[in-house]
Chains A and B, each alone.
Chain A
């Protein structure tokens, strides 16, 4: 459960360090929590600040610097499998917060009873005091689906994100826009004229659905009105909306 750092050199594991303290120090001097007796390492080289399930790396003014995932780094929000390099040594960060699927109901949200004291921004990562008095709240703790932004590591999502959908296209079959194609590249695409008749095409993990949004008339699929309910589209269905005919098909 606890996140840890694995110290290695040239591929050989030297030691494992669980990140149980709020501040774990790394340096050459023996008083450091992770002491690396090597001249390339500064006496006080870096620190890991751990706030509950999150850990942050900070180089605390070392002479030779630190590298995280191949990039010289001052501060870094650690993600599972990140590799910190200090001289010839590597520290791998492991925090595979369990996907507690077996006990989904016990993923709890906690209430922190007292306000959390915060670091001032200019001081960088400071110790954050977290009170222990917690109250459980049902909610997902650790797992969340994200499309990671510009971060090297993607957290493993507990549930597979929407399966890669087959791309689909709408082609207009009549009127001034005859022949125009519209790729359904977003989760939702609206068709029609606001105030007159609008329908929405929703891209979902198990297919594409058309739903009436507004207007007195409902859209029709293959000549049949779809009514108020979502209607799943099949390859080569013909949609008619506000006098415009369109063909829906999967791009192969």
Chain B
């Protein structure tokens, strides 16, 4: 099954109840199984410039790279899947674009963005992220994050200074330890996960997970998985009903069928004839 037939993808973004403009950017490319979400930072409109650059670099460059080579093949330079390498390389590319723009134009000085991006291929998903935008997975009854925030709070949780429950009371929620575009280079965290039919993936900016408890997000996805766009609307509504202090963005991906890459002689022959 082709990737765009196997996946159902919706995205929504909303400025929230407090902010005058939206510094989040989202995009997806069903044809290539790519989803990208970025939460920008920086004065005036620099935040949306940064997140906008990140999202457009990812979308155009990944598409371009995948025209030449399939994501399931091996990347010679890193020995990872091409799917993993394109995400890593292009987050770095976006980083450099933002960094250069910030260096050359004073009004953009210091801008940056978080990013979380996923590339679905061959019954897997490669996930790259920087900062505190998250990807969650709902598989059956289990709802969990599959990214780990690059934030001070997460580091404190990891080192046992503060428990996950108490972390909700922390006043240090707003400190990220990594961001795209702040320095000349960035190290994105990239992982590969197996995908099962029925999985629902949620990418979100912290405007969602700071305002809505994980249990409520989970309940919403479970109840409304029959109507993904309504689920997205409900999530944003809940964040705004709880105060909506930040921009809220969500991308939902539902895996409706298997999408293994065809292999073997027959598949090669078929693709050869197609060209």
The answer on a CB contact under 8 Å between B18 and A139 is no
Collect the chain B residues with CB atoms within 8 Å of residue A211's CB: 230
The answer on a CB contact under 8 Å between A51 and B42 is no
The answer on a CB contact under 8 Å between A136 and B41 is yes
A202 within 8 A of B: yes
Closest chain A residue to B179, Cβ basis: A111
Contact pattern, A 13-54, Cβ under 8 Å of B = 1, otherwise 0: 000000000000000000000000000000000000001111
Collect the chain B residues with CB atoms within 8 Å of residue A95's CB: 171
Contact pattern, B 171-204, Cβ under 8 Å of A = 1, otherwise 0: 1111111110011000000000000000000000
Q: Which of B60-68, B116-124, B238-246, B256-264 contacts A (4 or more CB under 8 A)?
A: B238-246
A220 within 8 A of B: no
With known contacts A113-B183, A151-B169, A136–B227 Cβ distance under 8 A: no
**B169 CB, nearest partner CB in chain A, Å:** 6
Q: Which of A84-92, A156-164, A177-185, A241-249 contacts B (4 or more CB under 8 A)?
A: A156-164
The answer on a CB contact under 8 Å between A121 and B160 is yes
B52 within 8 A of A: no
The answer on a CB contact under 8 Å between A144 and B245 is yes
The answer on a CB contact under 8 Å between B245 and A136 is no
Q: Which residues of chain B in 3-44 are interfacial with respect to chain A, using CB atoms and an 8 Å cutoff?
A: 17-20, 23, 39-43
Determine the main DSSP class of A at the interface with B.
loop
Bound CA span A2–B136, Å? 35
B269 within 8 A of A: no
Collect the chain A residues with CB atoms within 8 Å of residue B177's CB: 111-112, 115-116
Bound CA span A195–B20, Å? 40
Contact pattern, B 142-175, Cβ under 8 Å of A = 1, otherwise 0: 0000000000100110111110011011111111
A142 within 8 A of B: yes
* A: interface residue count bin: 35 or more
With known contacts A111-B112, A198-B226, A187–B216 Cβ distance under 8 A: yes
Bound CA span A166–B102, Å? 51
Bound CA span A140–B165, Å? 19
Collect the chain B residues with CB atoms within 8 Å of residue A205's CB: 241
With known contacts A119-B159, A140-B246, A149-B165, A52–B226 Cβ distance under 8 A: no
B100 within 8 A of A: no
With known contacts A121-B159, A155-B169, A139–B243 Cβ distance under 8 A: no
Collect the chain B residues with CB atoms within 8 Å of residue A147's CB: 213
A141 within 8 A of B: yes
B237 within 8 A of A: yes
Collect the chain B residues with CB atoms within 8 Å of residue A130's CB: 152
**A60 CB, nearest partner CB in chain B, Å:** 16
Bound CA span A164–B2, Å? 48
The answer on a CB contact under 8 Å between B152 and A109 is no
Bound CA span A95–B226, Å? 45
Contact pattern, B 51-90, Cβ under 8 Å of A = 1, otherwise 0: 0000000000000000000000000000000000000000
**B246 CB, nearest partner CB in chain A, Å:** 5
The answer on a CB contact under 8 Å between B182 and A113 is yes
B220 within 8 A of A: yes
The answer on a CB contact under 8 Å between A119 and B161 is yes
Bound CA span A12–B89, Å? 63
Bound CA span A73–B38, Å? 42
The answer on a CB contact under 8 Å between A125 and B161 is yes
Q: Identify B155's interface contact among A118, A149, A202, CB under 8 A.
A: A118
A-B contact pairs, 9 of them (CB 8 A): A113-B182, A118-B156, A118-B159, A135-B42, A142-B171, A146-B168, A148-B169, A200-B224, A204-B237
Residues of B in contact with A (beta carbons under 8 Å apart): 17-20, 23, 39-43, 47, 110, 112, 152, 155-156, 158-162, 165-166, 168-179, 182-183, 206-207, 210-211, 213, 216, 219-220, 223-224, 226-227, 230, 234, 237-238, 241-243, 245-247
